[in-house]
Structure 1
Amino acid sequence: MTPRVRAPELPQNNPWFNTEKPLSLQQLKGRVVILDFWTYCCINCLHILPTLKYLEQKYKDSLTVIGVHSAKFDNEKETENIRQAILRYDIEHAVLVDSGFRVWEEYTVRAWPTLMVIDPQGYVVGYVSGEGDRNVLDELIQKLISQHQEKGTINFQELSLTLEKQRKPLITPLAFPGKVLATQAGLFIADSGHHRIVISSLDGEIIHLIGTGQSGLTDGSFDEAQFFAPQGMAFDEENQILYVADTENHALRRVDLKRQVVETIAGTGEQSRNIRPHSGAARETMLNSPWDLQLWGNSLFIAIAGSHQIWELDLETNIVKTYAGMGAEACIDGELSESAFAQPSGITTDGQELYIADSEVSSIRAVGLIEPRQVRTVCGSGDLFGFGDVDGQGFDVRLQHCLGVEYAQNNLWIADTYNHKIKLVNPHTGNCQTVLGDGSVGLQDGQGKNTRFSEPSGLSVMGSLLFIADTNNHAIRRLDLDTLTVTTLQFPNLCAPDVCIPHES
């Protein structure tokens, strides 16, 4: 018989979130405890959250989930950034900041995410690594509850927590805007935290709000449609159609500006578990966290962050298929079918190649659209742990979890998200230089490097203006390309959902 292992106690003097005071395993005796070892950049960690939410609701009087945040990137070690991630992803369980990987090492964790299950007597009874299976966890929890009920070692009572979102409700007009798209028809903003699309003029005057502001997957008119954390967009000027990567719905949506309706055109609303290259009818094929879009002729190219691939939707046949990436999380150049990406989160094109912000390898990749169609690395280390903040050439460049990329005037603008900077890359030589941001978190307008951002994630150029989705500042910033002056766009008629009824012109 395997000896039972007592779960190591949790540190009490580290920062804790979503709770008035630190939780201890001693105090949680009599309850089933799940420790979720996560880091907020990791798409697989985000995919676990709905499972945890389901289990927390089902067993609220006998299960306690504790997120153990063991940071991958330097930027994720900052406690305020972790708090922002808790708000962004609506995490409602206690979160412990695992400074220096102490808890990770005590529990001999090897990968993100890992769920460690502790029984009501304080012993580790099992763990699941990767995205795991909700049913396996559900069965294990049920079994533990009935076993310990018989032994009289379970303590049924609901645990009350003080959530970050209750302490400081987010009532800003925009909430964690992920992407922005500037067009002749106006500025499209993925107001990700408010689950809606905002359309304004380039000066911030509101034209339309699309979505109720509540998360859901509902087609229909602008005021009845629902999204779930939408991200990247692409616009068909001629037909006045906006395409939206509806990330947490694992779907693509089409917004018809003339008819003012939203419809789902790809995905089923369920997350795909199939990472092998495949194809199918768009409405019947499951997707896995589509993050950004690029229109090219009759094709809509998709950065699929969840399966580490680039996909293509043929808008004439409505067939969706894997275009590049074998599904492994890595940085492998070469043939489309043999290539690999790591959480691609931004996409743009010059008409010859697609350019990808490949966030988990902190690199910019290029994917050929015309023969010979090859994948190459433009700049960055191509290594899952090769990140930093170094300007220079090609492989010597270090970025930190870049999420946004935009092609304009023979160059690539990069949102170097976790370095809080905007950089300029030559797509042919791989030369990378910082243009905006001094590397510190802040909201500071001004010129060039005398500016500050907070995890900028999306970029769009229109004429002589570059628009920046400055995600953790809940802001859209505007750069004049001629003077390199940054200003923060104001939206005088925009409110958070349910705060006030905004005026629609």
Structure 2
Amino acid sequence: MEWINTKGPLELKDLKGKFVLLDFWTYCCINCMHILPELKKLEHDYANQLVVIGVHSAKFENEKEAENISEAVLRYEIEHPVVNDNQLKIWSTYYVNSWPTMFLIDPEGNVVFLHRGEFKAEEVRKLLDGAIPYYRKTGSLDETPIQFDLLAYSQEPTPLRFPGKVLADEKSNRLFIADSNHNRIVIASLDGQLQEVIGSGEIGSADGDYATTQFDHPQGMALVEDTLYVADTENHLLRKINLKEKKVETIAGLGRQGTSNESWPGLRENASVNSLPHRFVGRPKTTAINSPWALWPHRDSLYIAMAGPHQIWKMKLNETQIGPYAGNGREDIVDGPQLPSIPYQQGYSSFAQPSGLTSDGNSLFVADSEGSSIRIVPFDSDDAVNTLIGTSNLPANRLFTFGDVDGPRGVAKLQHPLDVCYVDGIVYTADTYNNKIKAVDAATGNVITVAGTGKPGTADKPAQFDEPAGLSYANGKLYIADTNNHLIRVLDLKSKEVSTLKIEGLKPLPVKKKPESVAGTTEK
């Protein structure tokens, strides 16, 4: 099999004497993303006793390619070996049936722990702390350090690093770029002249001025007059940037991932139906949120694609309340009334990792990525959620039906779209895993490809992209975050020509360097 983040294939016998944690994952999965920081904590704290191996068992066709997995390894800053299990052979051997799934193997080769779903490092830490003294005593624990040949060590510096979302503002002639893996926001003119850089580049959550403030892989943005709102995704925060005073402030979230109960603010533990709140709302600064991915302002509110709990949330712009607006919290593509009165109640709308937002003024259009669908969420909360294009009409496999097919609503298929942008009756869509930009008629659902050959690349003619994830419109042009290419591309909607926008004055940031070998270290 193909191996990534290591010099060559690994076998369990090569790791005799180590605890080995097998993480079955696929890189589209928000739950898999959530445990990567937990794995990193364990890798660092037990560097001499534990080896983590990611078993990448793909959901989407695009995820089966080793090159795409390598980009995901770099984007998520993974520091352990990953094997490409694209035929699900290891998956089947271990009887895995969901992402993520984790197995812990002891130094003698025995599976000693199994966990399905998300977990915290503390759960594994308790097991290791209890077990390590026993294996030391028996002499079966090998505590020789292992240093892996990570992909990150061979990367060239780039001005942008995996840009996630873009926001073009025609009125002020500004382009806002979520330079996600540089943990900052870049502001340029629409023709590419650098104006500001917001953020030190270091991962963190510090508020303050542009130079010292910190983000953690920010994504979506929304502009309201002189205020830029930012979905600080991996901090599980919403941030507010005063563009006049050049100050950054945290306005929502606790700086940690919200739990399933916290997806319903005001819900008490073991609450009965009779004690449920009338509305699930809380104060923004005391309410935990979960992977906010995209933002859209409308009237007095900010709408949030909350990818973690598979919901659309709403926050008052006066920052008095925040809570779910649509979605019963079940990961699915189901149409119906917007929000249940009881958490997870069936018969209401379901989303599957919503990741992009746009609007025609009457409704939100949502890029519902895991169901490869575009959803419609009316601003009238009494109106039902519908699907513009996608899988809601299927009796089964709604999260596993995808493709690259243009045509009318009942025929067309997308593959993991991550953003949408409404312009004059058309919902332009970043069809991310098909490496294309598509146009979806907002009235009929008819789909056509407007740019992209489907093959990853950087060419302008014919246009190629590599997992584009962000779209925004200004002056007759679509601005595209071409994520894996570390570029901003521009699509002229009249001529259909694509160009690459250079951000003049933006300097590359240093990349991760390989540490010097330590005596006695094994290199793999």
Query: How far apart are residue 438 of structure 1 and its match?
Result: 1.2
Aligned to 1:352: 362
Contact 1:406 1:412 in 2 (8 A): yes
Q: Give secondary structure in 2 for the equivalent of 1:392.
A: coil
Q: Deviations over 1:455-495 (max 9, x none)?
A: 00110011211101100110000111121111000123111
Q: Deviations over 1:321-379 (max 9, x none)?
A: 10001111001111001211000000111111110000000000000102642100110
Aligned to 1:381: 391
Which of 352-361 and 374-383 deviates more? Answer: 374-383
- Pick the aligned partner of 2:231 from 226, 245, 260: 245
* Matched residue count: 480
Query: How far apart are residue 146 of structure 1 and its match?
Result: 2.2
Is 1:102 the counterpart of 2:117 in the alignment? no
- Pick the aligned partner of 1:494 from 492, 497, 506: 506
Residues 162-241 of structure 1 aligned to structure 2 (within 5 Å) = 162-166=149-153, 168-183=154-169, 184-185=171-172, 186-237=174-225, 240-241=226-227
Contact 2:237 2:254 in 1 (8 A): yes
Is 1:289 the counterpart of 2:275 in the alignment? no
- Pick the aligned partner of 1:408 from 394, 398, 423: 423
Contact 1:380 1:396 in 2 (8 A): no
Query: How far apart are residue 170 of structure 1 and its match?
Result: 4.1
Partner Cα distance (1:35, 1:193) in 2: 26
- Taking a change above 3 Å as real, the CA distance of residues 199 and 482 of structure 1, as seen in their structure-2 partners, is same
Aligned to 1:478: 490
Partner Cα distance (1:353, 1:489) in 2: 31
Aligned to 1:263: 249
Gaps of 5+ in 2: 266-280, 340-347, 393-397, 512-524
Contact 2:333 2:391 in 1 (8 A): no
Partner Cα distance (1:287, 1:407) in 2: 27
Q: Give secondary structure in 1 for the equivalent of 2:88.
A: helix
Q: Give secondary structure in 2 for the equivalent of 1:286.
A: coil
Residues 73-472 of structure 1 aligned to structure 2 (within 5 Å) = 73-166=60-153, 168-183=154-169, 184-185=171-172, 186-237=174-225, 240-274=226-260, 276-278=263-265, 279-337=281-339, 338-370=348-380, 372-382=382-392, 383-446=398-461, 450-472=462-484
Aligned to 1:6: none
Q: Give secondary structure in 2 for the equivalent of 1:280.
A: coil
Contact 1:424 1:435 in 2 (8 A): yes
Q: Deviations over 1:116-155 (max 9, x none)?
A: 1101111111211110233221112222312212322111
Contact 2:17 2:140 in 1 (8 A): yes
Which of 373-382 and 227-236 deviates more? Answer: 373-382
Aligned to 1:20: 7
Aligned to 1:48: 35
Partner Cα distance (2:163, 2:156) in 1: 13
Partner Cα distance (2:497, 2:135) in 1: 64
Q: Deviations over 1:268-294 (max 9, x none)?
A: 111001255332100111110000000
- Taking only the aligned residue pairs, the percentage that are identical comes to 50
Partner Cα distance (1:214, 1:169) in 2: 18
Aligned to 1:11: none
Aligned-CA RMSD value: 1.2
Query: How far apart are residue 317 of structure 1 and its match?
Result: 4.4
Partner Cα distance (1:114, 1:141) in 2: 18
Aligned to 1:35: 22
Q: If the length of structure 2 is used for normalisation, what is the TM-score?
A: 0.90
Contact 2:473 2:479 in 1 (8 A): yes
Q: If the length of structure 1 is used for normalisation, what is the TM-score?
A: 0.93
Partner Cα distance (1:371, 1:431) in 2: 26
Partner Cα distance (2:201, 2:28) in 1: 24
Gaps of 5+ in 1: 1-13, 500-505
With a CA cutoff of 8 Å and minimum separation of 6, indicate the structure with the bigger relative contact order: 2
Partner Cα distance (2:239, 2:508) in 1: 22
Q: Deviations over 1:20-56 (max 9, x none)?
A: 1222111111111000001100010010011101111
Q: Give secondary structure in 2 for the equivalent of 1:455.
A: coil
Contact 2:158 2:509 in 1 (8 A): no
Query: How far apart are residue 169 of structure 1 and its match?
Result: 2.4
Contact 1:379 1:396 in 2 (8 A): no
Partner Cα distance (2:443, 2:362) in 1: 12
Query: How far apart are residue 91 of structure 1 and its match?
Result: 0.2
Which of 81-90 and 373-382 deviates more? Answer: 373-382
Partner Cα distance (1:399, 1:306) in 2: 21
Partner Cα distance (1:207, 1:242) in 2: 15
Partner Cα distance (2:449, 2:308) in 1: 29
Aligned to 2:345: none
